[in-house]
Amino acid sequence: MTRPPAMLPDDQLDLLPTGAVVAVAMSGGVDSSVAAARCVERGLRVIGITLAMWPRRDGRGDDADRGCCGVDAVADARRVAATLGIRHYAWNLEERFHDAVIADFEAEYAAGRTPNPCVRCNDRIKFGDLLERALAVGASHVATGHYARIGRRGDRLSLHRGADPAKDQAYTLFRLGQGRLSRALFPVGGFASKPAVRDEAARLGLLTAAKPDSQELCFVTGSLGAELEKRLAGRYAPGPIVDDSGAVVGEHRGLPFYTVGQRSGLRLRSRRPDAPPAYVVELRPLANTVVVAGRGARLSTALRARDCAWVGGAPAPGTHCAVQVRVHGEPRPATVVGAGAGLELRLDRPAAPAAPGQAAVVFVDDEVLGGGLITAAAP
């Protein structure tokens, strides 16, 4: 990376010809509302699309608001579309969302891994099914309310963090390669803060200006633990909690309720008052065992991932970068050992182990190079 890429103005909006057809994924929230409004202001032909994905198959018998995919979201998006004078459609993708996102979420937790459903949804739904259908009905691009930006390096596009570090969502978009990125628009990615987005919505008279942000997982109502208990009934069992020496120090309720790095809810047997706090450092699915140790007892100097995707090509061995292993995690300085279908990184400083199943996303400065799903953290 010898020079910074050029950022595209308003994430390509100004580069589109007047009258180009853009489908906007309208979640019923303020971000996608402003994204749609900015497209309208550019003279584009805008179609609002809300993906109705609320899971009725769970037996609750209700259509309660589920954040970005509930019936309230459809109603709010439709009212915003009317304010903007654009057509609006609701596409029911319940079955596809279940098969592509929720089933994966359940299977990963049942296997003792920690998935990121937002990565799956962006990859398989928003820039999978939605993009494919939008192109089929005549749209040239799909715009979303993601806090991310697009740049260009020579003849290739690049993906970057949003201007607001607190709202940045580029981590969850790392699977977008050149083809899909060329069809993507992120009209709010350049806003410096969420209040600035809300001010823009208020200026435009959009009813979503003061609407609270949706919860992180749209299909989870209540606590994650309660959701897993319901969804995975019969797919987990209690087992031992052991320390690094192999001594049994407690009993867990089931692997899905634990993740690497967790400290709370362990319910260990009586320990000395001066004993250091214990953290989950490993899950052993074959033995149905949770391993705990004190902070610093299992530091890693390397990280491996599988099922990798690269925005503009895999980075060369020796590339100095930063790797982010959680949505809101602090990037860790690292060096690429090898990258392609898999990824191996050498960490500059020993770090706490990362949770298998989470995404390891590689950055150089604010640019997303790509990443994959964590398989192991080497000592």
CATH number at residue 314: 2.40.30.10
Residue finishing a domain among 165, 200, 224:
224
78 and 145 fall within a common domain: yes
Residue 308 is a catalytic residue: no
Do 129 and 191 lie in one domain? The reply is yes
Which of 163, 189, 224 delimits the end of a domain? 224
Catalytic residue among 69, 118, 218, 321: 218
- Please indicate, yes or no, whether residues 310 and 333 belong to a single structural domain of this protein: yes
Decide if 336 contacts 321 (C-beta within 8 A): yes
Indicate whether 263 and 324 sit together in one domain.
no
User: SS3 for 321?
Assistant: strand
Domain count, the chain: 3
Q: Are 218 and 71 in contact (CB under 8 A)?
A: no
Give the model's pLDDT for residue 354: 92
- Residue 270 and residue 202 in one domain: no
Residue 134 sits in a domain of what CATH number?
A: 3.40.50.620
SS3 content of the chain, % helix, strand, coil (to 5): 30, 30, 40
* Predicted local confidence at residue 360, as pLDDT: 97
Selecting among 68, 118, 121, 308, the annotated active-site residue is 121
SS3 21: strand
Task: Tell me the residue range of the domain where 109 lies.
Answer: 6-224
Asked if the structure places residue 1 within a domain, the reply is no
Is 69 considered catalytic here?
no
Residue 92 lies inside a defined structural domain of this protein: yes
Tokens linked to 305: 């991932």
- Sheet of strand 248-252: strand arrangement: 248-252, 239-242, 289-294, 278-284
Q: Is residue 304 part of a domain?
A: yes
User: Digits of tens for pLDDT over the chain (379 positions)?
Assistant: 456 777 776 657 888 988 899 999 999 999 999 999 999 999 999 999 999 886 555 444 444 444 555 667 889 999 999 999 999 999 999 999 999 999 999 999 999 999 999 999 999 999 999 999 999 999 999 999 999 999 998 889 999 999 999 999 999 999 999 999 999 999 999 999 999 999 999 999 999 999 988 767 788 878 889 999 999 999 999 999 999 889 999 999 999 999 999 998 898 986 666 778 899 999 999 999 999 998 888 899 999 999 999 999 999 999 999 999 999 899 999 999 999 999 999 999 999 889 999 999 999 999 999 999 999 655 5
Distances (CA, A) of 150 to 3, 255, 311: 16, 39, 11
